[in-house]
Amino acid sequence: MLRTHMRSSVDIDGETVGYSCLEIDGRDDARRLKNKSQNKLDGNLVVYLPGHVQPVDAARHLHAAIVEASRAGVLWSIDIDPPKGGDPTKAAALVQILHRQVLDTLFENPDAARKAFKATTIGWSHGGAEALRAALLAPEMIDCVIGLCTAGLESHTPLRLVRRLPQEFTRVTRDVYRKRSETLRSSLRFGIQLTQGFARDLAHTRSPIRLVNDLRWVGKKVVGPQYGYPGKVVIVMGDNDAFFHWRSLFPDCARVEDLPDYLDRYTKQEFPNVQGFDLQVLPGNHLAPELHAPEYLQTILESLQRMGTVL
């Protein structure tokens, strides 16, 4: 797989918003040249949005699994610096990045490619909330949103999220102890990368205030009766996630096995305009999408198949 790191910026309402990008290309040379000359991928471009202070290359196992399973064979992991305007500005920046840099990079004729170009966004944690917002701005381009252990489904105060950090750390430590050493290595690597991501955000913005405000946006609810996105949505949550737990969304549901009985009402209330919706709960904590990438990806693929679509 070819991996290309990029650093650039876009202008949103007079604010320069920087971003980092990792392109992972699993195509061979012949397929790559064919797609470029024909101004069309073989499927949707997968756009991955990392979680809070996650760098673009944090979810290595998940990225590799997605690229191998996707029809297009290309993934762009995009991390947008915390802007003054918060997540709405991030969403606008993402749409502009897709319309400009992505098309300019992948195709010979970006204007011709724009007519048929489609994207599937996959957001982890805070990235899921960003994906849900961006889809509202460009539903004609983003026809599927996938949220992994995602924010944006309910409201949280920053203090509440911070208080849950020790609980999540304890759960991750316990799960790692019960699992194999490979999980331990992945968890340690991920922790180091989160620290590096925080340092990068601070270096890029030079504003501790923006980092604090960025945390506030993690707790903002995106969906609800007013949520107008008309595409497809898949949510996969971890049953042992201390930050975003399915029981908060379904307080009357006693068992995971009973969730299907509640999904229809939940969909009408929180995602009233979607063409398709599915919510699944798998074992694991907040790091599970990376630590157990094959299981989470398989669940995504099965949900999309039930909706009559593919990754």
d(CA 17, CA 8): 9
DSSP per-residue letters across 47-93 = EEE--TT--TTS-HHHHHHHHHHSSS-EEEEEEE---TTHHHHHHHH
What per-residue confidence (pLDDT) applies to 192?
Answer: 54
More confident residue, 302 or 177: 302
Strand 2-12 and strand 45-49: the pairing is unpaired
How far CA 274 is from CA of 44, 228, 236, 270, in Å, comes to 18, 8, 17, 10
pTM for the structure as a whole:
0.90
pLDDT digits (tens, 9 = 90+) for 259-291: 999 999 999 999 999 999 999 999 988 889 998
pLDDT digits (tens, 9 = 90+) for 36-73: 999 999 999 999 999 988 889 989 999 999 999 999 99
d(CA 126, CA 58): 14
pLDDT digits (tens, 9 = 90+) for 107-136: 999 999 998 999 999 999 999 999 999 999
CA-based torsion, 174, 177, 182, 185: positive or negative: positive
d(CA 267, CA 259): 12
d(CA 208, CA 58): 22
Amino acid at 255: R
Counting beta carbons within 10 angstroms of the beta carbon of residue 156, is it exposed (0 to 12), middle (13 to 18) or buried (19 or more)? buried
Q: What are phi and psi of 252, to 5 degrees?
A: -90, -5
70 φψ region: left (φ > 0), alpha (ψ -120 to 50), beta (else): beta
> What domains, with CATH codes, occur in the chain?
2-306 (3.40.50.1820)
